[in-house]
Structure 1
Amino acid sequence: MSFHAFFSVAAVTAAAFGSPALVPSQAHAANAGFMVLQEPRPNGPPVEVGIWYPTDAAPKPMALGSWGHTVAAGAPIVGEHLPLIVMSHGNGGFFGGHADTAQALAEAGFVVAALTHPGDNYKDQSRATAMTDRPAALSALIGWMLDASPLKAKLDASRVGAFGFSSGGFTVLAAAGGEADIRKVSEHCKTHPANFDCKLTASRPPPADALTARWVHDPRIKAVVSAAPAMGFSFGTDGLKGITVPVQLWKASDDEILPGDEYAEFVHRHLGRPHDYHVVQGARHFDFLTPCDTAPPADLQYLCASAAGFDRRAFHKDFNTQVTRFFTDQLVAPGKALPKG
C-alpha cells in the first residue's frame, strides 16, 4: 500500500488541443500522448496531474524513475467526445505508478488523468490517513478536467470511469458511493496489528477533521476498477450498497501488504451486486504497479520485486487488456452484462 516514487519528471505541456479530431473515441489511436499539468486548488498548492490521451504522433520511450512508458510527449490529441478515466494511486505514491495501464487506455481512445494525492504522496505524508481527503480530491479532479482543463472541449462528461490501486482502490469505491466507517479501523487493528494499514495508522493517527468529514460521492463516475483495495473491511456489510455502477475488482493471491480476506475479498463478498472479480494467482501487492525498467534504490527494491516464477510483464499485458476491455464495455458500449461476482 505504501510506495515512494523514485523519479524525476519535467512538466510536459502542449497547445495542440484545438487541433481537428482525426479519429472517433471508439477507434484505437495509433499511440498515447502524455503531459503533466497543474490543477489549481483554492486552499493549497496546485495538484500535479499526469495525462495520457490518444494521438497519432510517433512515440518514444520516456522514463518515470525506474518505471517508464512509450508516449508522444506534448503531441496533438485526436478524437472528440472522449471518455475520461481518473486514476488514484496508493499510499505514498504519485501519478505515474500505473503508467503502462494509462498508456494502454489512451491507445484505446480514453483520456486518463492521474493525480498525485495532496498530503499522501512520496514527498508528503502529512495526511496519509485522512482518507476522506482522497475521494474529495478525485471528484475535484473530475470537475477540473471536465470544466476547466485544456482538454475540456474534447471530453464527454457522461462517460467517466475511475481506476484505483490500494488506498486508491478504496478511494474509487468511496467516490462511487461507498460509505466507510473509520471507527472500524481500531477494532480491525486490535486483531491485525502487524498489517501495514495498522502500522500506518499507529504512526499517523487520522487528523480530527478527517474523522468528522463526510465522504464525497461523485455521480459522474459510471464505472470503477479497484485493484487490491485498502480498508475493504471499513465498509462493513452495508457500506457498499450505494455503489450502483459496474465494478471490476482485483486481488493479489499472495498480497503481503493487505493479507487475508478483509480487503479485496471483503469487498467481493459484500458488494451485493454482480461484478467482475479477478484473483491473480502468485501476485503480490505491488505487482499491480507498472513493471520496472531499471533497478530502483536499494530501499525501494520491494516495489519491483515479484515472487519467483511470477512474470509481472506478462501479467500486465493481460491486466491492461482486461481493464481496457471493461472500461470500453461500460463507457463506450454500455449495458454489457457483467459476470456474477
Structure 2
Amino acid sequence: MSRKARSAGMIFRFWSHMAIMLIIGLPDAAHTQDYPFVGFQEASVPNGNEPALHAGIWYPTLARPQETSLETFTQEVAPGGAIVGQTLPLIVISHGGGGSLASHYDTALALAHAGFVVAAVDHAGDTFGDQRQVLKPWRRPQQLSRLITFVLEAWQDRDRVDPRRIGAFGFSNGGFAVLVAAGGKPDLALIDPYCHDHPAHDLCSALRSAGVSSVAALPVPSDAWRQDDRIKAVAVAAPAFGFTFSAGGLNHVTVPVQLWRAADDRHQPDPWYDEAVRAALPLPPELHVVAGAGHYDFLAPCSAALAKLAPIICIDPNGFDRAEFHRLMNAQLIHFFRSKLK
C-alpha cells in the first residue's frame, strides 16, 4: 500500500472514530451536542390559589418539524414530538412587561437546538392581554419558580432534565424577575425619588397614566423577594427597575451573570438600569453592550402581523438589523449557559 493510501486510511479511521465517539458520547457530549429538530408542548402550570399559568416548552427531538403558529409568529417545531437526550439542562425565560411566552421564541428554539430544555411562561397579571397586577413585581419571580417546579416534578419528560443545571433568561421586567430569583432584593421605595428626579422616564409616565402618585404604600409581602437556589446562571437583557438594587440589593446574586445593554435604549436609559445592575453585582458580569440597538431589539424579530399590531416594538428607526443581532446574541447565550451549567 502506498504512503498516500495509508495516510488516507489513517485519516478515514480517525474521523470514523470521532464520529463514533460523538454518537456514544464524549464525557461532556451531553452538554455540547446540537440537535436537528425542536419539539414543542404547551402546558398548564399550577399557580397557588390562582388559575394555572400558561407555559410553552421547547426541547430537542428527532421528530420532523412543521410550520406551527405561536400567537403572531410561525415556528418550525414538532408539536408533541418525542424528546431526545438525557440529563438535559433547563433554561426558563421571563418575558418583558406586556409580553408573552412567545416574546423570545427564537431564543428558545436556538437553545433547544443546542440541547437545552427551555420553558417560558405567560406572567399572569403582566401580559399583553392582562396587566392588572403589573404593580406587584414580586409575583413574577414566584411564577418563574413555579415553572421550574413544574418542569422538574410534573412535566411528562421531567426525567430527562438535570435539576443541577438550571439557568434563566429575562428581558426588561423579566430581567428584574430573574435577578430576584437569583437572590436580588430590590428596594421599591427608591421609585418615588427616582420619578421625582426623572418624571419623563417611561416608568414614571406609566405610573402617572395609571393614576399612581406613589409606590411607597405598595403592600409588599414580607416574603416577596425569595431566592431560588436551583438557578445556577442567569442572562439578563435591559433589566427593569435596575436602580432599585442599590445598597447591597444584589449582594446575594453570586451565580454567573451575563448582562446585555442596548446602547440606544430610550425606554430604560443608562445609567439607571443596566449600569446600576452591573455596579451592584458582587462579581463582574459578562457584559455585552449592543451598538445601535434599542430597548425592544431584544424581542424576537417581528412577524408582519405583529408589526402591524404593535409597530412601536417592531420598527427600528435607525436601521438596526434585529435578525442578525439575534443570531449573534443567541449564539452568545448558548455559549454562556453551556460554559456555566456544567
Q: In the TM superposition, what whole-angstrom CA distance separates every residue of 1:76-112 from its partner, at most 9, and x where no partner exists?
A: 1001111110110011111010000000000000000
State the distance in 1 between where 2:249 and 2:267 align.
23
Letter in 2 for 1:282: G
Q: Is it true that 1:209 corresponds to 2:215 in the alignment?
A: no
Residue number among 220, 233, 236 corresponding to 2:246 in the alignment: 236
RMSD across aligned positions (CA): 1.9
The aligned counterpart of 1:339 is none
More helix by share: 2
State the distance in 1 between where 2:156 and 2:172 align.
29
Query: Is the CA contact 1:133–1:210 (under 8 Å) kept in the aligned structure 2?
Result: no
- Bigger relative contact order, structure 1 or 2, given CA contacts below 8 A and separation 6+? 1
Residue number among 268, 272, 296 corresponding to 2:278 in the alignment: 268
The aligned counterpart of 1:53 is 59
Q: In the TM superposition, what whole-angstrom CA distance separates every residue of 1:161-190 from its partner, at most 9, and x where no partner exists?
A: 010000000110111011100100111111
TM-score with structure 2 length normalisation?
0.87
Letter in 2 for 1:160: I
Q: Find runs of 4+ consecutive structure 1 residues off by over 6 angstroms.
A: none
Residue number among 303, 316, 330 corresponding to 2:340 in the alignment: 330
Letter in 1 for 2:289: V
Structure 1 residues 60 and 241: alpha-carbon distance in aligned structure 2, compared to 1, 3 A threshold: same
Query: Is the CA contact 1:34–1:53 (under 8 Å) kept in the aligned structure 2?
Result: yes
Residue number among 303, 326, 331 corresponding to 1:316 in the alignment: 326
Residue number among 278, 284, 288 corresponding to 2:294 in the alignment: 284
Letter in 1 for 2:58: W
| Correspondence 1:148-167 to 2 at 5 A | 148-167=154-173
SS at match of 1:177: coil
Q: Is it true that 1:35 corresponds to 2:45 in the alignment?
A: no
**Cα deviation, residue 70, structure 1:** 1.9
Count of aligned residue pairs for this structure pair: 312
Structure 1 vs Structure 2: percent identity of aligned residues?
44
Structure 1 residues 67 and 196: alpha-carbon distance in aligned structure 2, compared to 1, 3 A threshold: farther
Residue ranges of structure 1 left out of the alignment (5+ in a row): 1-20, 333-341
Is the radius of gyration larger for structure 1 or structure 2? 2
The aligned counterpart of 2:16 is none
The aligned counterpart of 1:136 is 142
Query: Is the CA contact 2:307–2:315 (under 8 Å) kept in the aligned structure 1?
Result: no
Letter in 2 for 1:36: E
The aligned counterpart of 2:5 is none
